[in-house]
Amino acid sequence: MLDIRRIRTDPDGVKAAIARRGDGTESLDEVITIDARRRELGAERDDIRARVNALSKQVGGLRRDGRTDEAEALQDESRQLGERERELNTEVDEIAGRVRDILLTVGNIPADECPDGDSEHDNVITRVEGYDPDSYADHQRVPHWDIATELGILDVDRAVKMSGAMFVMYRGMGARLVRALIDYALDRNRDAYEEIRPPTVVKTETMISTGHLPKFADDAYHLERDDLWAIPTAEVPLTSIGRDEVFVEAELPMKFMAHTSCFRREAGSAGRDTRGLLRVHEFDKVELLSYATPEQSAEVHADILARAESVMVELGLAYRILDLCTGDIGNSSARTFDIEAYAPGADRWLEVSSVSWFSDYQARRANIRYRPAVGKGTTVIHTLNGSGLAVPRVWAALVETHRRPDGSIRLPEALHPYLGGLTEIPAPG
């Protein structure tokens, strides 16, 4: 959520920033108008309240002194004021709610450095690592869904039977590889990130804090009976750890990581990327998340990106890093780098990590603040997060990349400690 005061003091600057996203700015105009009205009416209401408070005090004194007649006169006056106060209050509340509703749908202001652009086609590829299109042999040009069938490590048909399209079920070594990837990713980051195992079903308020609601309700699973939401990412519960709390600067940056299942309805993408693990409704992910001061945020952003990147290196995958343009970054984000792993069998770049700096956008929604070491008052913190490792697509790229001519899969050394000494998924037969 944007700071209403910033919108007030620099309306043109804010509108220009939102326009960079390709979003309309009409709602901002409306906010500016009704916010002015809100303050006007609010001031009037507060003046009346001040009068009522003063009168009530006088009434108390008069009654103590037994001057009942005088007290009753003042009570009458106060009663009259009360009616007007109620009217004003109702109106102010209404407008304030309206302001909030609108602000909840306005996206974050992109960072100055965020490249301009309309869509994913304008994202800037900042780096490509380990990728040589001519280096892949025929045995690596087999898509993971075929490999998986051959090795019996992924069973899509059975998952579809029990849960429907775009659900998957790992089997045998496939399932074990999932577990190894998760453990590896957690251990890889435990030097700096506290491991959390949060709830995966959360309240509406928790989804609003990250920006997943109200705008993107269609993308999430909703348990209507209990009004709870299945999290699309651990970012959701992790961001709310500090909701409505005030930290001291010395505690920052705070760093959390969590492995959770992630649930996505993928509304609007029916029929797209449906093969194998390209896009699924439920998947495992290790997420890294940090609360930081504004000054710390750049360094933390770089840290998360470096950690996500090192996973690609250690797993022996080719990857590239994208600097997402203003038209493609998420609604809550001010700057996002994506990591895409190359899957030679599917011959596609798969988004495996999205590393974002949300500035104070989420923290203002969640009301997470800190007390600066010097000076008075509180400041809204910054939140940052990124996937430490998103399982399905890494699993896919890994299986395709490390397939040997005989059909076996070489498992990278980094995973060996998590596989009980196994170093490969044996060839079929």
Determine the Cα–Cα distance for residues 30 and 365; give it in Å rounded to an integer. Answer: 20
CB of residue 393 vs RNA: minimum separation in angstroms?
A: 31
Q: Which backbone phi and psi does 33 adopt, to 5 degrees?
A: -65, -50
In the complex, minimum distance from the CB of residue 243 to RNA, in angstroms, rounded to a whole number: 13
Smaller CB separation from RNA, 76 or 406: 76
**With contact defined as beta carbons under 8 Å apart, do 363 and 379 qualify?**
no
Listing DSSP states for 43-78 in one string gives HHHHHHHHHHHHHHHHHHHHHHTT-HHHHHHHHHHH
Residue 39 vs 275, nearer CB to RNA: 39
Q: Which residue has the tokens 């435990």?
A: 190
Q: Which is nearer to RNA, 93 or 187 (CB)?
A: 93
Identify residue 334 by its one-letter amino acid code.
A
CB of 82 to RNA, least distance (A): 5
Shortest distance in whole angstroms from residue 217 CB to RNA: 22
Say if CB 326 and CB 109 are below 8 A apart: no
| Between 47 and 187, CB nearer to RNA | 47
Supply the DSSP string of 288-347, one letter for each residue: EEEEE-TTTHHHHHHHHHHHHHHHHHHTT--EEEEE--TTTS-TT-SEEEEEEEEETTTT
Least distance from RNA to the Cβ atom of residue 272, Å: 38
Shortest Å distance, C-beta 429 to RNA: 39
Give me the least distance between CB of 205 and RNA, in Å please. Answer: 11
Torsion of CA 177, 180, 181, 182, to 10 degrees: 130
Alpha-carbon distance of 418 to 425, in angstroms, equals 14
Nearest to 326 by CA among 149, 174, 108: 108
d(CA 112, CA 17): 9
* Cβ contacts of 134 within 8 Å, gap of 6 or more: none
- Kindly give the pairing relationship between strand 282-292 and strand 424-425: unpaired
| Closer CB to RNA, 167 or 247, in the complex | 247
Q: How many CA atoms lie within 13 A of 209 on its CB side?
A: 25
SS3 364: helix
Residue closer to RNA, measured from CB, 198 or 345 = 198
Find the shortest distance in angstroms from Cβ 79 to RNA. Answer: 4
Q: In whole angstroms, how large is the CA radius of gyration of the chain?
A: 27
- Residue 386 backbone phi and psi in degrees, to 5: -165, 155
Nearer to RNA, 331 or 367 (CB): 367
122, amino acid identity:
D
Nearer of residues 75 and 200 to RNA, judged by Cβ = 75
Name the minimum Å distance from CB 78 to RNA. Answer: 3
- Whether 311 contacts 389, CB under 8 Å: yes
> Measured from the CB of residue 236, what is the shortest distance to RNA in angstroms?
18
- Least CB distance from residue 215 to RNA, whole Å? 23
User: Given the rule CB under 7 A, which residues bind RNA?
Assistant: 4-5, 39, 42-43, 46-47, 49-50, 52-57, 59-60, 63-64, 75, 78-79, 82, 93, 246, 369, 376-378
Nearer residue to RNA within complex by CB, 55 or 399: 55
Compare residues 245 and 347 and give the one whose CB is closer to RNA.
Answer: 245
Six token digits for residue 263: 């649930």
Q: Which is nearer to RNA, 138 or 224 (CB)?
A: 224
On the 0-12 / 13-18 / 19+ scale of CB atoms within 10 A, 7 is: buried
Closest of 129, 163, 75, 194 to residue 342, by C-alpha: 129
